[in-house]
Amino acid sequence: AIIGTIHTGETCGEVSLLSARPHSATAMAVSDIEVAELPRRDLEDLIRRRPDIGVIIYRNLAVGLGDKLLRSGEWKRDQERSEAESVLP
């Protein structure tokens, strides 16, 4: 099942990056894309050397996660509405 779409400039895998937990989903591209990977160790090294950049990265990740949370709530409501409409006469 498709649970979301990632657009240019957006991130995926941030929960795993921040929490060191396994990924909860698999991302698949439907067209050619360019991907940048940021391993947790590299992020931690960068933050140690440049805490000012770390603040910006964490803020951007928080905003992105907030946006995804809002979209997932909208998606869930749309799914529930669609299911309810499908059982109505």
pLDDT digits (tens, 9 = 90+) for 23-80: 888 888 888 989 898 899 999 999 999 999 999 999 998 998 888 888 877 766 766 6
56: left (phi over 0), alpha (psi -120 to 50) or beta: alpha
Domain count for the chain, please give it: 1
Count of beta carbons in the 10 Å neighbourhood of residue 54:
15
Query: Is 7 inside a domain boundary?
Result: no
Cα–Cα distance between 49 and 60 in angstroms, integer? 19
Rounded mean pLDDT of 9-29?
A: 85
pLDDT the model gives residue 47: 93
Inter-residue contact 48 to 22 (CB < 8 Å) = no
pLDDT the model gives residue 83: 67
Query: Is 4 inside a domain boundary?
Result: no
Tell me the whole-structure pTM to 2 decimals.
Answer: 0.62
Inter-residue contact 68 to 11 (CB < 8 Å) = no
Query: What is the residue range of 80's domain?
Result: 14-87
Query: Is 5 inside a domain boundary?
Result: no
Query: Is 32 inside a domain boundary?
Result: yes
- 10 Å CB burial of residue 45 (0-12, 13-18, 19+) is exposed
pLDDT the model gives residue 76: 67
